[in-house]
Chains A and B, each alone.
Chain A
């Protein structure tokens, strides 16, 4: 009998030892590796602030509100601002940027109208200061756990001490399990009449959440206790506490689970954790007990009672004074109006980002490696695009008696020069996560392709200039399969012989088709390719009038090359990717390629201004200021199934498409449809006139437009047109004088200047 007992005891010890060794290895393996599958977080651009910047005070305030900055009476710490008249006092937040840590700065911004006049630090003038970028989405692990890791040092001391006061007062004295803790919790709960403290230590809670299933049993409780002791043996109190703070579940947002205090602070208050005041910290501490039960949006009263209870415990335990507790208890919850972190507020843009990421990275890494992805997304431009689409498309439906909701739309905004995609709408519904028409809808482009035909012509400067007369008589082209193509002008009229710039300005189909056939289809498709289109193109004559199908992104790429004086740059969404510990993984620095001469682009840009001032685009000026110089082109496809507009100002290329998903007819042209949305966006952004500087090698001459002959200023029918040097007409009209434009040369000659 005794031998049996010994035998059993022996095996119990052996079994126990084996179990301990196994549990020990489990504890260590998970704690020492990458603790969590961390989602990739995607950021928008960082807003640079500088003197001379075109930024209205209201736009700055909008950005600050989005970032969770709080308006206060006196600015004293990061994340605060104060507006007084045309002055904004601002305390920026620190942020770890690609080129280093940008510390928090207190500054004063003076506005003059809708631009920044000066920027001053506390003592010195500042050249440029940037705000932290907005988080615009994430790529989440399959279990949908989201978190932003924080270190103990980032947290306000009252948050950590308050948490321990409520959850585990013996934390620094126990070895993983605490018998006095259990007794004390029991007592407090009896006194309070409800459960205010749990009996498990923070270490046990961590083990439960981090290592074990949700099952409740005595055996599991035993395993939990053993593993808690193991954790304490191997790791410091600080490491355990920090892991707990990052692990704990603090809410559910749709499918996504909010874990850790770092993310919870952003989610509920739109603030980084370091900024949380006592009353906000207390709410989060209280939510540890039951994040859904104490959800401050759904159950505000319950959440507030819980918060105040936590504040009482914090005061009792000396974390804060009674006075501080009283002050904090008097405050409202002050949670953000809506969650500060959302899975996907800009799905169309995020899709574009993901497409690029999927080319370069494994899906697994994107979902778990905690990458930080910085993009060129500009929330202010996006906001304007969404507002314009909503306002104008609704109005168009009403005005043209189109059934509500029948129209769909897509828009792309690109910064000229950098080729950064700033904003993207894939639908008329902001935040719509379905079909992304800006990227995936390929529709006939109509006349938006015509600039490519005219560009092909203007590159042959010996043959074609803006003043060259082209024939707009009816045309028929027999294709290789025997069908005959007979394009007609939109107005069903012919215009005889017209100067080239006028044919482009008025979007004459017959003249363009004739010109394109003269140039040769392969040459026109080659131009489209050089402008940046990479898809397939069939060389049918009807392509000259835009029968090929492209996405709004494709069209934006072509027009960016035109706006950027002939330099092609692939449209860019991602600027850089960083690892979870902020090491640069990949940067996407700017590069470009000259595809056309600045001279020929100057001529084409002239023609596209004619469109806006005198041609099919002039309806834009119903919304735009009269003195704003812009360039662009309308596009309407057969039976008005697609309405397009593509155009640019100084800063932005914008492309808008309007149509029906079923490709049905609409009563809208490019001018009455998409142009209106485009102009509303441009007007709302307060964009500047395009630079349109004459490059060397281009000279302006007075030309009689009806004959194409050299003329003089003041002559009837004369127009001042740009020519690539050597391509200007040599034959003179009868009105041509050696006076006029030459007067300065004559005077200069006389004065020897």
Chain B
């Protein structure tokens, strides 16, 4: 069967765990050990062969703010310049161009939602902000800005 490699993050986690375990071994009571470093316990139940310890398809990774592409940032900044000039159509145009380069950038949706909000298109703005939130890392600045915008939209409705 196909086995996908575990995500890099998970591999890193195991390595970190192994290192910590070595450090803890001397001073701690017998620490729990990741199963992969031990022989597997006797199988308690028969299982279909192809499901054995399958960890192939997975994503532990939460949305992380990967460094935004400079092209996207440049277009988003250009869009905010239009926005500040109350030229919301042009702001939406710049955001659209940035979105085509990276449709998963929450900054793009913050700009789109803000422009639509300024055009009093509240329902559209709300959905765009939700889209941004779905892509934004929790606790990030853009996440907070999107939350704040949603609150403003809710207050205007």
Using a CB–CB cutoff of 8 Å, the interface residues on chain A facing chain B are 45, 48, 50-53, 98-99, 127-128, 415-418, 420, 565-567, 575-576, 584, 587, 589-594, 598, 602, 606, 609-610, 613-614, 618, 621, 627, 629, 691-696, 700, 704-707, 712-720, 722, 733-735, 737-740, 742-744, 746-747, 750-751
In the complex, the answer to whether A715 meets B61 with C-beta atoms within 8 Å is no
Q: Which residues of chain B in 63-85 are interfacial with respect to chain A, using CB atoms and an 8 Å cutoff? A: 63-64, 69-71, 73-75
Whether A417 pairs with B44 at a CB distance below 8 angstroms is no
Q: Are A627 and B5 in contact (CB under 8 A)?
A: yes
Which residues of chain A come closer than 8 Å to B52, judged between CB atoms?
716-718
The 8 tightest CB contacts between A and B, nearest first, are: A717-B47, A417-B103, A714-B35, A50-B71, A716-B43, A127-B74, A734-B44, A128-B71
B127 contacts A696, CB within 8 Å? no
Task: Say yes or no: A50 contacts B69, CB within 8 Å.
Answer: yes
Contacts of A610 in B (CB 8 A): 57
List B contacts of A712 (CB < 8 A). 35
Docked complex: B9-42 residues within 8 A CB-CB of A: 13, 17, 20-21, 24, 28, 31-36, 38, 40-41
Complex Cα gap A427–B136 (Å): 40
A685 to B46, CA, bound (A): 43
Contact A735 B96 (CB under 8 A): no
B21: A residues at CB distance < 8 A: 747
A739 to B59 alpha-carbon distance, docked (Å): 20
Q: How far is the CA of A50 from the CA of B102 in the complex (A)?
A: 12
User: Which chain B residue shows the least CB distance to A621?
Assistant: B2
Bound Cα distance from A627 to B69, whole angstroms: 24
> What A residues does B46 contact at CB under 8 A?
706, 716-717
- B53 and A715 within 8 A (CB): yes
A415 x B13 contact (CB < 8 A): no
**Are A700 and B58 within 8 A (Cβ)?**
yes
When the two chains form their complex, are residues A734 and B45 in contact, meaning their CB atoms are under 8 A apart?
yes
Whether A718 pairs with B53 at a CB distance below 8 angstroms is yes
26 A-B pairs within 8 Å (CB atoms) are namely: A51-B71, A53-B71, A415-B103, A565-B134, A567-B130, A567-B131, A575-B96, A587-B89, A591-B116, A594-B130, A594-B131, A627-B5, A696-B62, A715-B41, A716-B44, A716-B45, A716-B52, A717-B46, A718-B53, A720-B55, A722-B59, A733-B44, A734-B45, A735-B41, A739-B35, A750-B31
Identify A716's interface contact among B53, B93, B135, CB under 8 A: B53
**Known interface pairs A692-B59, A706-B45, A713-B34; A587-B93 also in contact (CB < 8 Å):** yes
| Measured CA separation A99–B96 after assembly (Å) | 12
Per the bound structure, the CA–CA distance linking A716 and B52 in Å amounts to: 5
In the complex, the chain A residue whose C-beta lies closest to that of B82 is A99
Chain B residue nearest to A129 in the complex (CB): B71
Of B33, B55, B59, the residue contacting A694 (CB under 8 A) is: B59
A738 to B103, alpha carbons, bound, how many Å? Answer: 40
Task: Report how far A629 CA is from B51 CA in the complex, Å.
Answer: 19
What 1/0 mask marks residues of chain B from 107 to 136 whose CB sits below 8 Å from any chain A CB? 000001000100000001001101100110
Q: How far is it, in angstroms, between the C-alpha of A598 and the C-alpha of B59 when the chains are bound?
A: 14
- The smallest C-beta distance from B72 to any residue of chain A, in angstroms, reads 8
Say yes or no: B45 contacts A733, CB within 8 Å. yes
> Is B154 an interface residue, CB under 8 A from the partner?
no
Q: In the complex where A613-B56, A706-B48 touch, is A593 in contact with B127 (Cβ < 8 A)? A: yes
Q: A584-B89, A715-B53 are in contact. Are A418 and B33 (CB under 8 A)?
A: no
B101 interface contact, C-beta 8 A: yes
The answer, among B2, B69, B138, for a CB contact under 8 Å with A52, is: B69
Q: Once bound together, how far apart are the Cα atoms of A751 and B127, in whole Å? A: 42
Contact of B104 among A691, A700, A705, A740 (CB under 8 A): A691
Which of A606, A627, A695 gathers most chain B CB within 10 Å? A695
- Verify B55–A719 contact, CB threshold 8 A: yes
Q: How far is the CA of A704 from the CA of B46 in the complex (A)?
A: 10
Note all chain A residues with C-beta closer than 8 A to B1: 614
How far is A610 from B1 in the complex, measured between Cα atoms in Å? Answer: 11
Tell me whether A99 and B93 are in contact (CB under 8 A): yes
- CB-based nearest A residue for B73: A127
- CB <8 Å contact, A743 and B45: no
A713-B130 contact, Cβ under 8 Å, with A694-B60, A704-B47, A735-B41? no
Given the complex, which residues of A lie within 8 Å of B62, measured CB to CB? 693-696
List B contacts of A742 (CB < 8 A): 32
- Whether B70 pairs with A99 at a CB distance below 8 angstroms is no
A51 to chain B: which residues have CB within 8 Å? Answer: 69-71
Q: A717-B45, A717-B48, A750-B28 are in contact. Are A418 and B71 (CB under 8 A)?
A: no
- Is B70's CB under 8 angstroms from A743's CB? no
Question: What is the bound-complex CA distance between A712 and B45, given in angstroms?
Answer: 13
Contact B134 A700 (CB under 8 A): no
Cα A567 to Cα B126 with chains together (Å): 12
Given A696-B62, A746-B32: A98 and B71 within 8 A (CB)? no
A740 with B34, Cβ < 8 A, contacts A50-B69, A594-B131, A614-B2 known:
yes
Expressed in whole angstroms, the Cα–Cα distance for A594 and B54 within the complex equals 32
* B48 cross-chain contacts in A, Cβ below 8 A: 705-706, 717
Which residue of A is nearest B94, CB measured?
A99
Known: A613-B56, A695-B134, A719-B55. 14 other contacts (CB 8 A): A98-B93, A127-B75, A591-B128, A618-B2, A691-B104, A693-B62, A713-B36, A714-B53, A716-B40, A717-B53, A718-B52, A734-B45, A743-B33, A750-B31
Cβ-defined contact, A590 with B134, below 8 A:
no
Q: Which of A613, A733, A738 has most chain B Cβ within 10 Å?
A: A613
CB contacts (< 8 Å) of B5 on chain A: these are: 627
Partner among A48, A566, A589, A693 whose Cβ is within 8 Å of the Cβ of B93: A589
| A50-B70, A567-B134, A693-B63 known; A589 vs B92 contact (CB < 8 Å) | yes
Q: How far, in Å, is B134 (CB) from chain A's closest CB?
A: 5
Expressed in whole angstroms, the minimum distance between the Cβ of B115 and any Cβ of chain A is 8
| Closest beta carbon of chain A to B31's beta carbon, Å | 7
**Which of A575, A614, A737 has its CB near the most chain B CB atoms (within 10 A)?**
A614
Q: A700-B60, A706-B46, A735-B43 are in contact. Are A587 and B134 (CB under 8 A)?
A: no
Query: What residues of chain B lie closer than 8 Å to A591, measured between beta carbons?
Result: 116, 124, 127-128
Contact call A744/B13, Cβ cutoff below 8 A: yes
Shortest C-beta distance, A650 to chain B (Å), equals 8
**B33:A739 contact, CB within 8 angstroms:** yes
**Closest B residue, CB atoms, query A742:** B32
CA distance A185 to B124 in the complex (A): 68
Q: How far apart sit A691 and B138, CA to CA, in the bound complex (Å)?
A: 17
